[in-house]
A and B are shown apart, each in its own frame.
Chain A
Amino acid sequence: MSAALKFVSRRAAASEAASLLTTATPANQPRMPPSRPLTLPPPVSALNLRLRALFALLLPPLLGIAGLLLVWALVAKGSDYLPGPGKTFTSAVQLFSDPFYRTGPNDQGIAWNLLASLERVAKGFGAAVLVGIPLGFLIGRFSVLNRALQPIISLLRPVSPLAWLPIGLAVFQAANPAAVFTIFICAIWPLLINTALGVASVPQDYLNVARVLNLSEWKVFTRILLPASIPYVLTGAKLSLGIAWLAIVASEMLTGGTGIGFWLWDEWNNLNMEHILIAILVVGLVGLLLEQGMSAIARRYDYRSQ
């Protein structure tokens, strides 16, 4: 409803701007409203308003997507290798008609590959949550620990995800745990840093309340630190999950076997450009869904939005 109102008022503003342009008056004269009888716009039904609002909401993104498809089609026309949107779509229909086939360890349907990637992300991200959040709390609460770990965090955080892969391979002697390890170590930093920041920036007023009440360290944690820092923790988790998804595609290209990253690289070896484009869109779509999911969780548990 408010979107509908906004839409109407934007139209009103536009028409006022237009009237400003047409009825330009000398600066020293007060601008008089045009001398026409005050008329209200013709009544619009509620359904009509809602349809208009929906249209206004959907039109810009649809135009954007149409623009992208147009540019893609134009570029594909001039290229020998890049397939256009039409060809890619046909290929996608074929691909998604049988997403769960399995003819061998290196030849599986796209859904299996996607699920393999998601499973690695779940493991690596889950481990990062289990280690990163408690450690972040300790760092935020005890400044000695903060000073002890800050140099290490600052040093390791900027390291590219793939740089950790050889370490993982050497330690675990297997591709799959190495990929999970890579996810873990990339995903832990935003969790660690945001949790620590959240705990350290709990307002002193709340801690004074805890001091006057003489709350135990456990009560301070459950009643004050935890709820106060949850928004920060969830922001960290959102960033972490995004990084995990970025890193998995890259590490699977190197480790091979299964996974959407492996599949993408495999299709490059097959010179199947349609499938590469589909893989890019699928990776983007899944990343978007993961982020939306985390945002929904963040909204659910943030005390400020309740």
Chain B
Amino acid sequence: MSAYLEIDNLSVAFRSRGGGSFLAVRDVDVQVAQGEFISIIGHSGCGKSTVLNAIAGLVDPARGGVVLGGREINGPSPERAVVFQNHSLLPWLSCYGNVHLAVERVFGGKESREQLKARSLAALELVGLSHCRDKRPAEISGGMKQRVGIARALAMEPKVLLMDEPFGALDALTRANLQDSLMEIQLKTQATVVMITHDVDEAVLLSDRVVMMTNGPAATVGEILSIELARPRKRLELADQPAYNHYRSEILRFLYERQGHPSSEAA
């Protein structure tokens, strides 16, 4: 298995308020194959988002780096699209406008106006929101906003789709619904995905491998678990499968026995 996305001994430091610096993540080493779905899970504050932001190019590594398709990344780029936790749609643009902004940026010089429009519409169609193309973000529900965020990211045809707790702010039913959609979309597009989550079920359901991180500061990869469940996966069928429950308890054991929650340790 040749690595498509290589997170290579990545360490990220932040300036602390006193003027010194502290290490948020240290020596993170993960290889991701093309078309693979990776989840990064860990307690809050363990630097999951920092790893994702480093892949996105939004923060610079202190040591090590990230290589995508043989090239070391250096700053943000549309080839690594991000689905933000709070959707980050621009409130003054319609759903279509938000998607089209990305499409225009990526394909603007190369394709005709009609082709660009078709791309934007197809992306909205993919997430099942064709009927909302002219609505503004304030007029649609939280789950729909997140769908538009996913449409915007996918419309860029990125090499890697980065998702930062994309469903964290949604209610359980909407979340389940979106997870199913995401599985379908990923099956269709064969996208390479790195997703941050703190939801164990979400990680097992969606991922090919789950990267479990130790507690911060200076968090690193504790364990990587391969989820060998056949696709397409059906939420209801999986619930009764011993393998599914085995993976689930593996992750729970890591999170709660080996990496007891930081706040309960302090207490």
Contacts and interface: CB of A to CB of B under 8 A. Distances in A.
A208 B89 CA distance: 11
B76 A212 contact: yes
Contact of B136 (A205, A208, A214, A306): A306
A303 B90 CA distance: 10
Contact of A208 (B58, B77, B93): B58
A210 to B, nearest CB: 9
Given A211-B76, A212-B82, A214-B76, A227 B92 contact: yes
A268 B110 CA distance: 72
Nearest to B85: A205
Nearest to B88: A205
Contacts of A219: 105
B91 A213 contact: no
Contact of B84 (A205, A214, A223, A224): A205
Contacts of A306: 136
B101 interface: yes
Interface string A247-287: 00000000000000000000000000000000000000000
Contacts of A214: 76-78, 105
Contacts of B82: 208, 212
Interface in A205-223: 205-206, 208-209, 211-215, 219, 223
Closest 4 pairs (CB-CB, A-B): A303-B92, A227-B92, A205-B88, A211-B76
Nearest to A230: B92
A209 B90 contact: yes
Interface in B55-112: 56-58, 76-78, 80-82, 84, 86, 88, 90-93, 101-102, 105-106
Contact of A223 (B56, B57, B101, B156): B101
14 contacts: A206-B90, A208-B58, A208-B84, A212-B78, A213-B78, A213-B102, A213-B105, A223-B90, A224-B90, A228-B90, A228-B92, A303-B136, A304-B91, A306-B136
B90 A208 contact: no
Most chain B C-beta atoms within 10 Å of own C-beta, residue among A212, A215, A223: A212
Interface in A191-211: 205-206, 208-209, 211
Contacts of A223: 90, 93, 101
Contacts of B81: 212
Contacts of A209: 84, 88, 90
A223 B104 CA distance: 12
A211 B84 CA distance: 13
Q: In terms of DSSP, what is the predominant structure of the interface of chain B?
A: loop
Contacts of B90: 206, 209, 223-224, 227-228
A224 B98 CA distance: 11
A213 B78 CA distance: 5
A212 B92 contact: no
A228 B92 CA distance: 8
B105 A211 contact: no
A73 to B, nearest CB: 51
B123 to A, nearest CB: 14
A219 B90 CA distance: 13
Contacts of B102: 213
A213 B102 CA distance: 6
A91 B52 CA distance: 75
Most chain B C-beta atoms within 10 Å of own C-beta, residue among A205, A206, A213, A303: A213
Contacts of B86: 205
Contacts of A206: 88, 90
A213 B93 CA distance: 16
Most chain B C-beta atoms within 10 Å of own C-beta, residue among A205, A227, A306: A205
A228 B90 CA distance: 9
Contacts of A304: 91, 138
B193 to A, nearest CB: 16
Nearest to A224: B90
Given A205-B84, A208-B58, A208-B84, A213 B101 contact: yes
A127 to B, nearest CB: 28
A104 B105 CA distance: 63
A215 B105 contact: yes
Contacts of B93: 223
B71 to A, nearest CB: 15
A211 B81 CA distance: 10
B94 to A, nearest CB: 11
A199 to B, nearest CB: 15
A304 B138 CA distance: 9
A224 B88 CA distance: 12
Nearest to B87: A205
Contacts of B138: 304
A262 to B, nearest CB: 44
B195 to A, nearest CB: 16
